[in-house]
Amino acid sequence: MIPEESIREAQTLIGTSNQILLALPQATSPDTLAAAEFLLRRFALMGKSVRVSPYVPQSREWDFLPTKSLERLSNPSGDTVIVINTESSAINEIRYEKDEDEVRVIISPKNEPISASSVSILESAKEMDLIITIGAEKLEALGDFYHTNPNLFFETPIIALDHRPSNDHHGNANVIDPEAVSLTEVGFGLIDAIRPHIFFSKDEATLILAGILSKSKNFLDGVISPKTLFLSKACVIEGARRKNILSAMGGASAAPDAALWGRAAIRSRYIFPESIFMACLVKKDFLEAKADAKEIINVMHKIDLHLIEPKTIVLFWQEPGSVNVNAIIEIRNGDLPRFTSGLDGSRQNGFTRLDGMFYTFAEAEREVLSRLGRRNSR
């Protein structure tokens, strides 16, 4: 979680700024670029003028990421750039005329006239009144851009945005969330704290999920919080291009249990007061992952490994060729035998698989929650 004091400091800096520079590390990742694009879009909606430091584009596998704004607003630090949107009117010729006092840039269209709204100017980075470093553990990680503009970073307020505890807190405000797995998650957290209950588009959902999945290796690298899974699920609901993301990550080669865990993660919910994590797998998941029900134990081990917080884990699944729903449970405080007394189940590798099958996921969930409620009331 981002400390409240850091949110207040960042909110003040953003609120009083007009020209924001997003400074990216010399070595970028899909997460870095996705976070920058998401923030750029949100700051534009706030009426801010945004610039982006030069960066190295990602490999072609990530071309589907909607980062055109990022590409358009990036240019070397000392230049003033005239940007022309040619989507509605192609350009035939550009020339200039120069006299003692001014330079006229003349743009000749091919067909339709070019409107003034299609032309914008990117000011020099020297005109910026706020810098946000994205995923830079220290200023030196910004590479040549930092070394060729030392005064800019000395004279301009900085917000450092990162998810790594190793960040050196070089900002006037430091938006650091070690519980997050990605920069997109931290960026979303910042914007949501400033303007709560935001809705995001399909493109923004794709950006956020791309950061989370690429950094966590589809929830297989490190510990994942229920907050991360909740945001991931929201992105999928909003239409995030999950299949494109997994394909860019080489998802086609994922092991069956890893593929099933990734699917269960985004089809899950967390009941906070009781600390219960519940997830489900449908028949289609097994077919697309080329897996069978034998992988359920392995999926449970992955949940157990990557989710530390929940006290109770429940996984429901529907096997290919069956209309019934099964359930398997882990209760981490060691009270599972008392919970399952009266509800037939068999122990398998440290988990309890309920013998009785249910007709629907809703029925299975109601029965399990009922049993958990009776257990907690004892």
Nearest to 306 by CA among 228, 246, 221, 233: 221
Which token pair is 134? 């994205």
pLDDT of residue 272: 85
Rg (CA), the chain: 25
The percent of residues in the chain predicted with pLDDT above 90, rounded, is 60
Ranking 3-7, 133-137, 177-181, 343-347 by mean pLDDT, the lowest is: 343-347
Query: What are the C-alpha distances in Å from 133 to residues 8, 16, 22, 187, 252?
Result: 17, 17, 6, 11, 34
pLDDT digits over 141-157, tens only?
A: 999 999 988 889 999 99
Which token pair is 50? 């945004």
pLDDT of residue 342: 47
Ranking 14-28, 33-47, 69-83, 237-251 by mean pLDDT, the lowest is: 69-83
CA–CA distance, 61 with 55 (Å, rounded to integer): 17
Q: Is 346 helix (H, G, I), strand (E, B) or coil?
A: strand
pLDDT digits over 10-49, tens only?
A: 999 999 999 999 999 988 999 999 999 999 999 999 999 9
Q: What single-letter amino acid sits at 157?
A: P
Confidence band, pLDDT 50/70/90 cuts, at residue 300: very high
Confidence band, pLDDT 50/70/90 cuts, at residue 81: low
Confidence band, pLDDT 50/70/90 cuts, at residue 79: low
What average pLDDT score do residues 183-205 get?
Answer: 93
If one counts every other C-beta atom within 10 angstroms of the C-beta of residue 211, the result is: 32
Cα pseudo-dihedral 204, 207, 212, 214, rounded to 10? 160
What average pLDDT score do residues 338-350 get?
Answer: 65
Ranking 121-130, 136-145, 249-258, 273-282 by mean pLDDT, the lowest is: 121-130
pLDDT of residue 124: 54
Backbone angles phi, psi at 67, to 5 degrees: -115, 30
Beta bridge partners of 122: 81
Return the residue matching tokens 């953003």: 14
Contacts of 371 (CB under 8 A, 6+ apart): 339, 340, 343
pLDDT of residue 129: 93
pLDDT of residue 76: 46
* Angle CA 327–331–333, to nearest 5: 175
Nearest to 5 by CA among 193, 196, 227: 193
Q: What single-letter amino acid sits at 41?
A: R
DSSP string, 140-191: GGGTHHHHT-HHHHHHS-EEEEES-TT----SSEEEE-TT-SSHHHHHHHHH
First to last CA, the chain: 34
- Averaged pLDDT of the chain: 88
Query: What are the C-alpha distances in Å from 272 to residues 48, 189, 276, 355?
Result: 37, 19, 7, 27
If one counts every other C-beta atom within 10 angstroms of the C-beta of residue 188, the result is: 26
pLDDT of residue 338: 54
pLDDT of residue 332: 82
CA–CA distance, 341 with 372 (Å, rounded to integer): 12
Q: Which among 94-98, 117-121, 276-280, 356-360 has the top mean pLDDT?
A: 276-280
What average pLDDT score do residues 230-235 get?
Answer: 95
CA–CA distance, 62 with 338 (Å, rounded to integer): 50
Q: Tell the burial category of 246 from Cβ atoms under 10 Å away from its Cβ (0-12, 13-18, 19+).
A: middle
Domains parsed from the chain with CATH numbers? 254-376 (3.10.310.30)
Contact status, residue 53 vs residue 125, Cβ threshold 8 Å:
yes
Say whether pTM exceeds 0.85.
no
Residue 337 has pLDDT above 60, yes or no: no
CA–CA distance, 189 with 64 (Å, rounded to integer): 24
Confidence band, pLDDT 50/70/90 cuts, at residue 254: confident
pLDDT of residue 377: 46
Give the total residue count for the chain: 378
Residue 336 has pLDDT above 60, yes or no: no
Residue 123 has pLDDT above 60, yes or no: no
Residue 112 has pLDDT above 70, yes or no: yes
Q: What single-letter amino acid sits at 36?
A: A
Nearest to 161 by CA among 273, 10, 18, 364: 10
pLDDT of residue 71: 82
